[in-house]
Amino acid sequence: MTPSADILGKTGGHDWDLVGELAALVSGDTVIRRDVPLAKHTTLRLGGPAEVFAEPASEADLAALVNGCAVRGTPFFILGRGSNLIVRDGGVRGVVIHLAHPCFSRIEIDGARLRCGAGAKLKNVAVEAKRHDLSGLEFLEGIPGTVGGALRMNAGAMGAWTFDAVESFRFMNSRGEIHQRISGEVPVEYRACPLLITNIALGAVFRGTPLPREEIEKRMKAYSEKRWESQPAAPSAGCVFKNPAAIPAGKLVDELGLKGTRVGGAVVSAEHGNFIVNDGGATARDVLGLIALLQARVREARGIELETEVEIIGEDH
């Protein structure tokens, strides 16, 4: 079976032999394509194309892609659900590896443990835990990402953090080697697991606490209501800024009267000051311009440097 790939020669100055060479390294179930628009793969719904876009069908194929990129000196980026991400309008050079194959999305129950692949949606993890009367993972339901992204960012909501519930996790290094760590052995920070900045999260074992399902459902309902009361429904990348020590970023933006501030199709949400939404037709340039404007206004008014929480990748036009 031939690998699925768009294999071309040299086009527009780019060496598309990379596509064919990578396709030769993996199984026939792995998909490799060129010039794939990334807007539909991000929650903000904007951004340019991936020069090469790959969806590995197994961990072995993922390792082969990583090694293939290393040999060629080609940069790669691991894409989950595309939340917490801004892709610049010029797109991403190199290879974007999307962990969308079902093999990366498995959720298996083992007593009070949930063994979850990096591609599993956090909402599905929370729902599966509820189905098996396991508490402690309710906060994941409202985070629009995957397990891999949550591990990398130590994602949090409702006062809880991903690594609060993680017992152990697996990752792949830049040579395609797989390792496992107990979560308590690995340093984590606010919005970051430094180990996973340079390594690829493959999955995690979450540990739940037995609790009657009615109690879990009540908690999830309360979280959901709180979230929809305070967060926009329009396309966004989630919280844009890290919270300064002195005051939450959203409250700071609100106090300065900056809700509704607009650059092109990018607007500060009326529901939450730390969200920028795509009001229709926004470009990455619009969003980045609005971020810079907010940072300047906050710096001028309060002397606080707002640091972005969202990851920004790619090139300008």
- CATH number for the domain spanning 66: value is 3.30.43.10
Q: Are 176 and 66 in contact (CB under 8 A)?
A: yes
Pair 49, 145 in one domain: no
Number of CB atoms found within 10 A of residue 11's CB = 10
For residue 132, count CB atoms less than 10 angstroms from its CB and return exposed for 0-12, middle for 13-18, buried for 19 or more: middle
In a domain, 224, yes or no: no
Please say which residue of 33, 68, 102 terminates a domain. Answer: 102
Q: Are 235 and 44 in contact (CB under 8 A)?
A: yes
Q: Are 10 and 16 in contact (CB under 8 A)?
A: yes
pLDDT value of position 209: 97
Closest-CA residue to 202 (of 104, 122, 78): 104
Please say which residue of 155, 180, 214 terminates a domain. Answer: 214
In a domain, 164, yes or no: yes
Pair 245, 296 in one domain: yes
C-alpha separations of 251 from 200, 260, 273 in Å:
34, 14, 7
C-alpha 10: how far from chain center:
32
230 pLDDT band, cuts 50/70/90, is confident
CA distance 205 to 291: 36
How many Cα neighbours within 13 Å face the side chain of 229? 6
pLDDT value of position 261: 98
Q: What is the CATH number of the domain that holds 190?
A: 3.30.465.10
In a domain, 202, yes or no: yes
In a domain, 227, yes or no: no
Pair 90, 137 in one domain: no
CA distance 302 to 283: 29
In a domain, 220, yes or no: no
Structure tokens at 281: 């037709």
Pair 128, 55 in one domain: no
SS3 255: helix
- What's the pTM value of the predicted model, to 2 decimals? 0.89
**pLDDT tens per residue, range 283-306:** 999 999 999 999 999 999 999 999
pLDDT value of position 13: 38
In a domain, 65, yes or no: yes
pLDDT above 70: residue 11: no
pLDDT value of position 3: 42
Pair 128, 36 in one domain: no
For residue 310, count CB atoms less than 10 angstroms from its CB and return exposed for 0-12, middle for 13-18, buried for 19 or more: buried
In a domain, 45, yes or no: yes
pLDDT value of position 177: 95
pLDDT above 50: residue 12: no
Residue bearing tokens 């609060």 = 164
pLDDT value of position 317: 83
Q: How many structural domains are present in the chain?
A: 3
Q: What are phi and psi of 236, to 5 degrees?
A: -150, 175
Share of the chain above pLDDT 90, in %: 87
Number of CB atoms found within 10 A of residue 143's CB = 25
Please say which residue of 102, 131, 152 terminates a domain. Answer: 102
Pair 191, 282 in one domain: no
**pLDDT tens per residue, range 15-62:** 458 899 999 999 999 999 999 999 999 999 999 999 999 999 999 999
What is the span of the domain harbouring residue 125?
105-214
Q: What is the CATH number of the domain that holds 306?
A: 3.90.78.10
Pair 110, 84 in one domain: no
